[in-house]
Amino acid sequence: MGDEQTVLVVDFGAQYAQLIARRIREANVYSEIVPHTASVDDILARQPAAIVLSGGPSSVYADNAPAVDPALFEQGIPVFGICYGFQAMAQALGGEVAKTGEREYGRTELDVITPDSVLLGDLPAQNNVWMSHGDAVVRAPAGFTVTSTSAGAPVASFENVTRKLAGVQFHPEVLHTEHGQAVLAKFLRGIAGCDGSWTMGNVIAEQVDAIRARVGDRRVLCGLSGGVDSAVAAALVQRAIGDQLTCVFVDHGLLRKGEAEQVERDFVAATRVNLVVANEQARFFAALSGITDPEQKRKIIGREFIRVFEERAREVAAGAAVDFLVQGTLYPDVVESGGGAGAATIKSHHNVGGLPDDLEFELIEPLRTLFKDEVRAVGLELGLPPEIVWRHPFPGPGLGIRIVGEVTPDNVRILQEADAIAREELSASGLDGEVWQFPVVLLAEVRSVGVQGDGRTYGHPIVLRPVSSEDAMTADWSRLPYDLVARISNRITNEVPEVNRVTLDVTSKPPGTIEWE
Amino acid identity of residue 212, one-letter, is: R
- Catalytic, 173? Answer yes
What residues does 247 pair with on adjacent strands?
222, 275
Report how far residue 259's alpha carbon sits from residue 257's, in angstroms, rounded to the nearest whole number: 6
Q: Is the peptide bond before 172 cis (omega within 30 degrees of 0)?
A: no
What's the Cα-to-Cα distance from 79 to each of 27, 66, 165, 172, 268, rounded to whole Å? Answer: 17, 17, 5, 15, 47
**What 3-state class would DSSP assign to 8?**
strand
- Catalytic, 176? Answer no
The beta-carbon contacts of 503-506 under 8 Å, at least 24 apart in sequence, are: 503/461, 503/462, 503/463, 503/464, 504/463, 504/464, 504/477, 505/441, 505/463, 505/464, 505/465, 505/477, 506/477
List the catalytic residue out of 32, 36, 133, 171: 171
- Asked if 247 contacts 275 with a C-beta cutoff of 8 angstroms, the reply is yes
List the catalytic residue out of 83, 194, 222, 247: 83
Q: Tell me which residue of 359, 361, 354, 324 sits closest to 337, measured CA to CA.
A: 354
Report how far residue 66's alpha carbon sits from residue 59's, in angstroms, rounded to the nearest whole number: 9
Report how far residue 29's alpha carbon sits from residue 22's, in angstroms, rounded to the nearest whole number: 10
- Catalytic, 247? Answer no
HSE (side-chain half, CA atoms, 13 Å) at 271: 33
Residues 147, 153, 159, CA angle at the centre, nearest 5°?
25
List the catalytic residue out of 32, 104, 159, 173: 173
Return the H-helix or E-strand segment holding 501. strand 499-504
Report how far residue 35's alpha carbon sits from residue 494's, in angstroms, rounded to the nearest whole number: 51
The distance of Cα 505 from the centroid of its chain, to the nearest Å, equals: 21
Active site residues: 83, 171, 173
